[in-house]
Amino acid sequence: MISAAVLERPGRWRVLGLAAGLAAALLPGAPLVWEVVTGAGSASVFGGDFALAVGRSLIVGGGAAILALVVGFPTGLLAGLYRFRGRRVLLAGVALPLLIPSFLWAIGLSMLRIELGLPRESLLSGATGCIFSFAAIGVPLVIFAVLLAVGSTAASNLDATRLAGGELAVLRYAGRACFPAALSACLLGGILSLADPGPGQILGFSGAATQVLVSFSALYDFELAARQCIVVAGVVLAAASPLVWFTAGKLAAGLLPRNATPMRPARWPAAEWAAPLLLGLVFALSVLAPVAGLVQPVLGRFWLDRTWETVARTGANTVVYALLAGLVATGLATWLAVCAARVASLRIAFVAGLIVVFVLPPALNALGTALAASGAPAWLDPVLRSRLTVGAVLGLRLTPLAGIVLLRAMCTAPASWALAAAVHGVPLGTYCRRVLAPFLAGPIAISVALVALLATADVTTVLLLQPPGQSSFPVALFTVMANAPESMVGSLALAYVMIACIAIAAVLLVNILVKPLALARGSVSAT
Amino acid sequence: MRITIESLIAAAALAFFTAGCNRTSDKPAEVVVYSSVDEVFARPVAERFSEDTDIAVRLVPDTEETKSTGLLNRLIAERERPQADVFWSGDPVRAAILKSKGVSEPYRSPNAAALPVLYSDAEGHWTGFSARARVLIYNKELVAEGEEPRSVLDLNDPRFQGKACIANPLFGTTSMHAAALFQVIGEEKARDFFQRFIENGGSIVSSNGEVRRRVAAGDFAVGITDTDDFNVAFQEGKPVAAVYPDQDGMGTLIVPNAAVLVRGGPNPDGGKQFIDYLLRPETEKALAESEAAQMPVRPGVAVPDYVQPLDELQPMQVHYGELADLLERLSAGFLREWVEASSR
């Protein structure tokens, strides 16, 4: 019988488990990285403009991260701490940008600039336009990271702070406690921009992702592309190391059992207008702006038959890919969080590993998997060439998001629970099933939902790995965008947004159903 | 309703199981087609093929808008054990690249006999059919009558200073057009054209679709795009018009589709049947009548009024088979440097 205390003690299994988990997350891209190791590529990775492009990308990624933090942190804090009218609906609304591929946002921004009559070299194009585009995804990431962090704050701590210093003190201390989670999320949001060439292509900005895309799609030089990806990962890791050090250390904030009653949002008159205002602004700028231009042509004609045919053909695949991605990412992240949460050096290694995973572009993982499948025997096709593959590769790439959520949750789990269980002879399995799993149920549900939303927006992985004929709805939409009538594209886009709203509502429902379960099990929920 | 951890695990296991099973694996006859032709045009043809032959088509279309790492990379990555039987390419250069990478297999369709040899590979690795053309698109509200561009070289004319755009010449048909310019007017003149384009305030946008959008919206007065892109804007009533460039000079670049049989594909017979189907005069006619408004390359196929008959055009005299090598060299050299310099 393995004691529950093993979860709180150091051990070699933690290092091995963390290494194995991170290796699994990097596995899809490994075949291409192996080509770099074994190949004798002649083209210099720093040929042309690559070094400058990496520098430009770091500036744009940093800008997007800062903007996401500035907007998302106060919004998430207010939304997490206080009750106000329309809270759930607005929160669901600001999750929508996660479903919208970044290049679509860039197209919307480009059209908006034209409508406003701004010159081509305005703030809405080039590097600044890209910062706005990527911040549209970073802001909801930060909001939900802060929401989760606020949710894991103890009710007794907040009550005591409120009594001592009022709501401003609550904001100050809760903000301080949640800042590392917000910083981690904005960091990931910024890093996401480094692997995405879409907005740069549309808004006229050439960054590292553009260079990698050129190596893949114009030069067909997989090895050069893989080497560029490795260099970008190294540079980003070096640039982000101070933040990694800071956030990994501060994420550990274990609660005491007596403080483990979760907080509940309170009422505060100032928050009743400020929070909806902030969330409404985020919703308007990140959802309405890009979608409005696309949906407007539907007023002339709605392509019901075509929309229905596309939804019927691709709907099930879309759900399967998204759910699998959520499950894979969350499962792996939970394991990694269990391995790393209690040891400071492992937390640093964990966050650093997540950055490396996130900075690699989807194409590297997808083509690496396609390469591996091509060389593998046919009997492995159900694993390497199926919908499972698509979901798994999507999930492995998005593990960092789930990782931050689960690491924070594991770090707040009271250590005395496992120690008390060990003293009473409770086996590890029983402890995990009866105590740890209910405690993590909320973060797990949020993690699955966040990853599923972001996975839905990924077009590259599905395009390169889908079993023939099993496309997803976004891929179907974006393969007709170039030449279909605008009213048809608008009809499909409108259907996409409506389905997304339904999906988010379903996620909210699951979250509502899971929470009472956790409480009924005699434990607490972290959210 | 109660959700238990066990039921969640069971649901996850079920999802994994069903995801691992490909739904169509029990179908007796099928063909897998990867296509870089826009889905709105490719899917109706694939569906008609299925109706006529009872062979199911599993279509994997590409996407232009994202400039993503598209299907050509997938075909190259899968070449050891391909999933595709046919690659229906929107241009012959991508087909020629597949030939150079060892992905394609020679196949001479009986229906190719009546097609001009100019648009096909001499060794049968790809066969050209219905074509688009590269046209100058201009905004009628921004370009006065009589001031319309007549030549690709007119983009560098002072009257279009700061008002012209082209798609990124590292991708798509624009890359083919760039290589064709180098082949036809020579390296020196082609380099000069690109340098002067930037000096004249020309801009690079992400795709031909973006050229169409930005010219139609009035952000630019003139650009170069494909006929199918132009036709979509025209059908929607946008204030645009098109000019087939250089009709009294080097000619207009014709971009035929190319049908490629993938080497070692899982359903070679089905693949050959699909290629035969693509190369029929009826398919060329259908593509001409669609919104793609493609020009049949086979002589004598009737076309609607809005489709320019190919034999009434002066085509650019290019050697399609050699464009792939030239483009590879240009993409790694001049064009890449030019795009980078333009983006700074």
Three-state SS across A278-325? HHHHHHHHHHHHHHHHHHHHHHCCCCHHHHHHHHHHHHHHHHHHHHHH
Sign of CA dihedral A323, A511, A96, A146: negative
- Longest CA span, chain A: 72
pLDDT digits (tens, 9 = 90+) for B6-60: 555 565 555 555 555 544 444 448 999 999 888 888 999 999 999 999 999 999 9
Q: pLDDT at residue B142 above 90?
A: yes
**What's the angle, vertex CA A484, arms to CA A494 and CA B289, rounded to 5?**
145
A393 at interface of B, judged by CB pairs closer than 8 A? no
**Which of B37, B39, B329 has the most A C-beta neighbours within 10 Å, making it the best mutation to test the interface with A?**
B39
The CATH number of whichever domain residue B32 belongs to comes to 3.40.190.10
| Chain A residues within an 8 Å CB radius of B19 | 320, 324, 386-388, 391
Q: Is the CB of A378 less than 8 angstroms away from the CB of B81?
A: yes
Q: From CA A77, how far away is CA A146, in angstroms rounded?
A: 6
| Same structural domain, B158 and B280 | no
Q: Where are the alpha helices (DSSP H) in A360-414?
A: 362-375, 381-384, 387-397, 399-412
* Closest C-alpha to A226, from A216, A234, A217: A216
Pairing of strands B164-167, B56-61: unpaired
Distance from CA of A246 to the nearest CA of B (A): 34
Residues B267 and B248 in one domain: no
What mean pLDDT, rounded, does chain A reach? 85
Q: How far apart are CA A524 and CA A513, in angstroms?
A: 14
Residue B242: strand pairing partners: B137
Can you tell me whether residue A3 is helix, strand or coil? Answer: strand
Q: Which structure tokens are listed for A87?
A: 């809270």
pLDDT, residue A259, reads 61
Which of B12, B23, B219 faces A114 most closely, judged by CB atoms? Answer: B219
Whole-angstrom distance, CA of residue A427 vs CA of residue B324: 65
Residue B290 lies in a domain: yes
Instruction: Give the closest of A101, A363, A483 to B69, CB-based.
Output: A363
A519 and chain B in contact, CB less than 8 A: no
Chain A residues within an 8 Å CB radius of B40: 480, 483-484, 488
Residue A300's closest chain B neighbor by CA? B236
Is B3 within a domain?
no
User: Residues with Cβ < 8 Å from A62, sequence gap 6 or more?
Assistant: A190
CB distance B65–A484 less than 8 Å?
A: no
Q: Is A427 left (phi over 0), alpha (psi -120 to 50) or beta?
A: beta
Residues of chain A with pLDDT under 70: 40-44, 46-48, 251-260, 293-294, 482, 510-527
CB contact under 8 A, A481 and B60: no
- What φ, ψ does residue A261 adopt, rounded to 5°? -75, 125
The 3-state secondary structure of B105-121 reads ECCCCHHHCCCCHHHCC
Across the interface, whether the CB atoms of A120 and B219 are under 8 A apart is answered yes
C-beta of residue A411 within 8 angstroms of C-beta of residue A148: no
Residues B179 and B220 occupy one common structural domain: yes
Find the mean pLDDT for residues B197-215: 91
**Distance between A266 CA and the closest CA of chain B, angstroms:** 28
Is residue B224 assigned to a domain? yes
Same-domain status, B223 and B90: no
Q: Are residues B60 and B87 in the same domain?
A: yes
Q: Do the Cβ atoms of A195 and A361 come closer than 8 Å?
A: yes
* Interface contact flag, B213 A204, Cβ < 8 Å: no
How far is A349 from chain B, CA to nearest CA, in Å? 29
The predicted structure's pLDDT at residue A257:
58
In angstroms, what separates the C-alpha of B281 from chain A's closest C-alpha?
Answer: 23
Q: Is A439 on the interface with B (CB under 8 A)?
A: no
Q: Are B34 and B71 in contact (CB under 8 A)?
A: yes
Interface test with A, best of B7, B65, B165, B207 (most A CBs within 10 A): B65
Nearest one of A282, A421, A115, A507 to B219, comparing CA atoms: A115
Contact A120 B203 (CB under 8 A): yes
pLDDT digits (tens, 9 = 90+) for A214-262: 888 888 888 888 888 888 888 888 888 888 877 777 766 655 555 667 7
Provide the CB-side half-sphere exposure for B45 (13 A, CA): 31
Helices A304-340 & B5-20, crossing angle to 10 degrees?
Answer: 120
Structurally, chain B folds into a number of domains equal to: 2
In residues, how long is chain B?
Answer: 344
Supply the range of the domain harboring residue B228.
132-253+324-343
Q: Taking a contact as any Cβ pair under 8 Å apart, which residues of chain A between 51 and 90 contact chain B?
A: 52-53
Tell me if A29 sits within 8 A of A226, measured CB to CB: yes
How many residues in total does chain A contain?
527
Closest-CA distance, A518 to chain B, in angstroms, reads 10
Question: CA B41 to CA A371: how far, in whole Å?
Answer: 30
Which are the contacts of A11, defined by CB distance < 8 A and separation ≥ 6? none
Separation CA A303–CA A524 (nearest Å): 48
Identity (one letter) of the amino acid at B317?
Q
In a domain, B52, yes or no: yes
Q: Are A113 and A316 in contact (CB under 8 A)?
A: no
Six-digit token pair at B163?
A: 């008002």
Look at residue B22 and tell me if it is in a domain. Answer: no
CB B318 within 8 A of CB B304: no
Which pLDDT does position A97 carry in this prediction?
83
The C-alpha atoms of residue A358 and residue B53 are separated, in whole angstroms, by 46
Which of A183, A259, A206, A231 lies closest to A414, judged by CA? A259
Q: Are B253 and B234 in contact, with CB atoms under 8 Å apart?
A: no
CA dist., res. A402 & res. A332, Å (int): 8
How many CA atoms lie less than 13 Å away from A258 in the CB half-sphere?
0
Rounded Cα–Cα distance for residues A187 and A157 (Å): 28
Q: Which among A110, A217, A222 has CB closest to B171?
A: A217
Secondary structure (H, E, C), chain B: CCCCHHHHHHHHHHHHHHHHCCCCCCCCCEEEEEECCCHHHHHHHHHHHHHHHCCEEEEEECCCCCCCCCHHHHHHHCCCCCCCCEEEECCHHHHHHHHHCCCEECCCCHHHCCCCHHHCCCCCCEEEEEEEEEEEEEECCCCCCCCCCCCHHHHHCHHHCCCEEEECCCCHHHHHHHHHHHHHHCHHHHHHHHHHHHHCCCEEECCHHHHHHHHHCCCCCEEEEEHHHHHHHHHCCCCEEEECCCCCCCCECEEEEEEEEECCCCCHHHHHHHHHHHCCHHHHHHHHHCCCCCECCCCCCCCCCCCCCHHHCCECCCCHHHHHHHHHHHHHCHHHHHHHHHHC
The tokens of B201 are what? 């305030």
Mutate to test the interface with A, among B63, B142, B208, B228 (most CBs of A within 10 A): B63
Answer whether B66 sits within 8 Å of A478, measured CB to CB.
Answer: yes
List the single residue in A with minimal CA-CA distance to B64: A482
Quick check: is B6 in a domain? no
Same domain, residue pair B171 and B240: yes
Distance CA A52, CA A211 (A): 11
**Within a domain: B2:** no
Those residues whose C-beta lies under 8 Å from the C-beta of residue A345, and which sit 6 or more positions away, are none
Of B39, B210, B339, the CB nearest to A480: B39
Residues B166 and B240 in one domain: yes
3 state DSSP class of A449 = helix
For chain B, how long is the longest CA-to-CA vector?
A: 77
Cβ atoms within 10 Å, residue A357: 23
A433: chain B residues, CB-CB within 8 Å: 5
Task: Give the three-state DSSP class for A109.
Answer: helix
B198 & B328 share domain: yes
3-state secondary structure of A262: strand
d(CA A149, nearest CA chain B) in Å: 23
The pLDDT value recorded for residue B315 is 95
pLDDT for res B23: 46
Residues B136, B126, single domain; the answer is: no
In this structure, what DSSP letter does residue A349 have?
A: H
B117 and B33 inside one domain: yes
Q: Is the pLDDT of residue B313 over 90?
A: yes
Residue A475 in contact with partner chain B when CB distance is under 8 A: yes
Note the pTM of the prediction, 2 decimals: 0.84
Provide, as residue numbers in chain B, all residues whose Cβ is less than 8 Å from the Cβ of A120. Answer: 203, 219
**Are the C-beta atoms of residues B263 and B82 closer than 8 Å to each other?**
yes
Candidate from A206, A482, A486 with C-beta closest to B64: A482
B270, with CB counted inside 10 A (0-12, 13-18, 19+), is buried
Give dist(CA B71, CA A118) in Å, integer. 36
Domain shared by B160 and B289, yes or no? no
Strands B126-139, B222-226: pairing kind: antiparallel
Q: Taking CB atoms and an 8 Å cut-off, how many pairs form between chains A and B? A: 219
Interface TM-score (ipTM) > 0.85: no
Closest to B130 (Cα-Cα) out of B265, B258, B313: B258
Cα–Cα distance measured from residue A278 to residue B328, given in angstroms and rounded to the nearest whole number = 50
B260 within domain boundaries: yes
Smallest Cα distance from B235 to chain A, Å? 8
Whether residue B61 sits in one domain with residue B167: no
Task: Kindly identify which residue of chain A lies nearest to residue B340, measuring between CA atoms.
Answer: A49
Name the closest residue on chain B to residue A389, using Cα atoms.
Answer: B20
